[in-house]
Amino acid sequence: MLTENITKLIADAMKAHDTVRLSTLKLLSSSFNYEKIAKQHDLTDNEELNVIRKQAKQRKDSIDAYEKAGRSDLVESEKLELTILQEFLPPEMGEEELNQLISDSISQLGAKTISDLGKVIGAVKAKAPSVEGGKIAELVKNKLS
């Protein structure tokens, strides 16, 4: 379980006086606890990964917002936190592999129009849960239009 590993890494970060890593890991640990309370059971590995993905997505969104606002100091901070979070995520599927998976799903479902978008996205997400839904949606839209 990642929760136990995170606790050990928090102690290591404290000893190393790595404030960015420490705060990021504490926020992640806190998010695990909130999710555990919400679900009312110990988190599975998949649920823990979903919490990390959600945290990483928040960092990506913050980076975009800070870049638009011209706050390069905050962008760097968020990028450091994102890098730390990505250590716990499995590597993302390659672009070519993802495109092939989308094409296979479209042909299996017999999708022809943009109205089939939801079915295709659902099928691809089931086979590639580590890929962001927005990225899948964009690629599927391009293939269906």
Burial of 140 (0-12, 13-18, 19+ CB in 10 A): buried
Q: What is the pLDDT of residues 26-77, one digit of tens each?
A: 999 999 999 999 999 998 888 898 899 899 999 999 999 999 999 988 999 9
- Please report the domains of the chain, with CATH numbers, ordered by start residue: 2-86 (1.10.1510.10), 95-144 (1.10.10.410)
Q: What is the pLDDT of residues 113-136, one digit of tens each?
A: 888 888 888 888 888 777 777 888
Structure tokens at 51: 């919490």
